[in-house]
Each structure stands twice: as C-alpha cells, then as structure tokens.
Structure 1
Amino acid sequence: MGPALVTPYALTVDAGGRELRAADHLLHALAAELALPEDVFGCTHLVRGERPRVVLSLALPSEPLRRTALERLTGLGHEVLPGVPDPVGRAVLYPGVTSLTGTLTVADVLSRSAIDRVTVLGTADRPGPGTPLATRDHVRPQWQDGALVLTAMPAAGGILVPFEVPDPTSCCADH
C-alpha cells in the first residue's frame, strides 16, 4: 500500500457511482468544495460483487481536515467510511498532477509529481528519463505494491502516452 494510502486520515466516499469519468469529476468537485490542499491524494477504486460501483478515497494530511471532510461529505449525503477500500487506487488527485500538461520527459513527470515510476505496456524495460510523454492533460497513475505507477504506451513519433485515454469511446457508441 502506498504511503499516502496508509495515513490514519484517509476516508472512503461511496456516492453510488458506476463510471470512472463521473468519479473523476466528483473528486475534483469535492476537492474544490472542501478547499483541499495539493498534497491530498484522491483515488478511485472499483468495487465488485453484488453492487458494482466506483468509490473514492481521500488521503488527507491532518485530523482536523479529515473531521471537516467527514462532516461535509456526510452532510452532502455521501456514505463515508474510515480508511481506503483497497491498496490499488487509481490516482486522480495527487501532488504535482496540475503540472503534468503537454509533452514532458519521463524525468519531468517523476520530478514534478508524486509518481514513482513509469512503465510501458507490453515491456519489462523502463523508458529512459529523456523519453517524451504526451500527457494529453490526463495522467492517472495507479498504486502498485506501494508505489504510484503510470502505465504508458508507445505512440507515433517515438513518444509515449498514458495508457488511459481522456475521453474513451464506449464499445457501442455508434449503435
């Protein structure tokens, strides 16, 4: 589990949503509503089982902020639980996320954000620090074995792009 996810000030928010895109928007709205600092981690987590859904986690830096968030989120009608639902959250809010715009080198991504490493889909080799990564202004790393990892894939022109696309098209969009 990542260091941000083991904080005693973490909360899980179950708003009953089923889509990642809506969960991303809700995390951003909650961050604005609660005036959360930039060192907060906000993640999405897929819950399977009888009632599949996407829940959110917030890893907050202090008890007063956790208490305030708990009160306000409960007041907004959300189910709020202590801790995080699992150790593999998909990070939407994290330190440095706002600086990951345009095309950056892998070294820039690592130095400007909380991302610990970049991997390339389909290969065991890590990209070199000078490898360009076109962020598409949508960088969603995931917690893996205690590290925040961005999975990228090769794109035209020898650059990388994050594996997750900003505006996915559903499989039956034209039906």
Structure 2
Amino acid sequence: MTPYVLTVDAGLRDLRVADHLLHALAAELSLAKGAFGCTHLVRGDHPRVAVSLTLPSSPLLRTARERLTARGREVSDGAPDAIGRAVIYPGVESLTGTLTITELLARSAIDRVEVLGDPGQPDPDTLLVTRSHVRPQWQDGALVLTAMPAAYGTLVPFEVPDPTPCCSDH
C-alpha cells in the first residue's frame, strides 16, 4: 500500500485531547478500513501534538483534505515525522481484554511487541492485559507495541489509559 498521508495541526498540547480529535475526525470522515490515525509530538518554539491520517488511496486523501479544509482545519501533506503513535489502525477495536501476543498480532496491524528491559521477543503465548488502550508506535516502518511486565507473568501496554497528571497531589 502506498501511503497517502495528511496532517491536521490543531495546536493541541495534550495526547488525550489529540486521541479524541482523531476519533472525531475518523467519524466525521467515515474513514476506510485500512486507515491509520496517529499522534505526533511537534517540538520547537511551540511544542504541540499534531495528528496524521494515512489513507489507502489518493481519492480518499483528496476527499479527506477537501472536507477538513472546508471545516476550517489546518491541513498539510505528509506526516510530521516517522514515529507516530497509532490510535486508529486496522484491528484496534478487537484489542480488548486479555490476549496472547499471537492473538494481538493476528487481530491487528501491529507488527511486533517489545518488552521494556528485555532485548528478546516475548513468548507468543504470553498474555497481554490490554486495558482497552493499545497505542503502538511506528519504528523503522514497523508498528511496534511497547509493553511492560505485570502481575502473574502477564504484560500490559506501556502507556496507561488514564495517567495521573504530574503534581496532581498538590
């Protein structure tokens, strides 16, 4: 598949808000099954989170660009970088509950799972407790989920669904 990518930069500063924007855009555009929606950390003078949409064809990209521009969105071609954090991707809706690594890979566009602190690949029968929040990242053209060890030999995605904000206790 040749990627057809566009970026929407709404000047967001929060990943959770960017996730919500991606879901809203997906619903608004009725995204095709092969679409990807990613967040990207934009550094520089004005750090922010931009979102990208990767669509399976040029006509779909043109339609998405026209609809978003007509709604006043700032749209540009391509992705801000190659390290997007995938929020929308094929199979994401089936990654709920507890799955083996084999099931996770078979059900989704995720190419592999890496475990923090472990240079090898996890056993394919290892259980992953998804917490219904699986956010892999693009690494060298592969969609990679970073996981960490959890109770009873299971794994969990590194990114937690509801992170505690810094300094929340004061």
TM-score normalised over the length of structure 1:
0.94
Instruction: Tell me what 1:50 maps to.
Output: 45
Q: Are residues 1:34 and 2:29 paired?
A: yes
Q: Are residues 1:74 and 2:69 paired?
A: yes
The CA distance in 2 between the partners of 1:174 and 1:78, in whole Å, is 36
Instruction: Tell me what 1:146 maps to.
Output: 141
Unaligned runs of 5+ in 1: none
Q: RCO higher in 1 or 2 (8 Å CA, sep ≥ 6)?
A: 1
Q: State the AA in 1 paired with 2:74.
A: E
**Which of these residues, 98, 109, 113, is aligned with residue 108 of structure 2?**
113
Instruction: Tell me what 1:161 maps to.
Output: 156
The CA distance in 2 between the partners of 1:104 and 1:139, in whole Å, is 12
Deviations 1:119-140 (A, max 9, x none): 0001102111000000000000
Percent of aligned pairs with the same amino acid: 71
Deviating beyond 2 angstroms after TM superposition, the runs of 4 or more aligned structure 1 residues are none
SS, match of residue 37 in structure 2: strand
TM-score normalised over the length of structure 2:
0.97
Unaligned runs of 5+ in 2: none
- How many aligned positions are there? 170
Offset of residue 29 of structure 1: 0.6
SS, match of residue 17 in structure 2: helix
Greater shift after overlay, 35-44 or 133-142?
Answer: 35-44
